[in-house]
Amino acid sequence: MIEQIRPLQVNEWLAAQGAPAVVLDVREDWEVEAASVKAEGFALQIIPMSELPQRVGELSPESAIAVLCHHGHRSQRVALFLEQQGFSKLANIAGGIEAWAEERDPGVPRY
């Protein structure tokens, strides 16, 4: 089962995993251009969901990965895919970048 975390819990959850911390943004390039998060306390890696099967090797199974999309649906699917690939330290950022803008950083544009 994939853990669901809110944007304000991201840094705490990543730190608790005892592994390199990554927020994986799986939105399309145009979405990232419209609104992006600041990497504060974690590495930000951007791999669109459509490219992930070919690029999964760019991620380390040892990392703690919190997956981000627009509302939390694509990121949940990606987290489940990564779990099937042997990744174990996974969380879905519930509410996606919309919730990030509401709860964590109001400077993030909404689209």
| Active site amino acids | 69
Following DSSP, what letter does each residue of the chain receive, concatenated? Answer: --EEE-GGGHHHHHHHTTS-EEEEE-S-HHHHHH-----SSSEEEE--GGGHHHHGGGS-TTSEEEEE-SSSHHHHHHHHHHHHTT--SEEEETTHHHHHHHHT-TTS---
First-last CA distance in the chain: 29
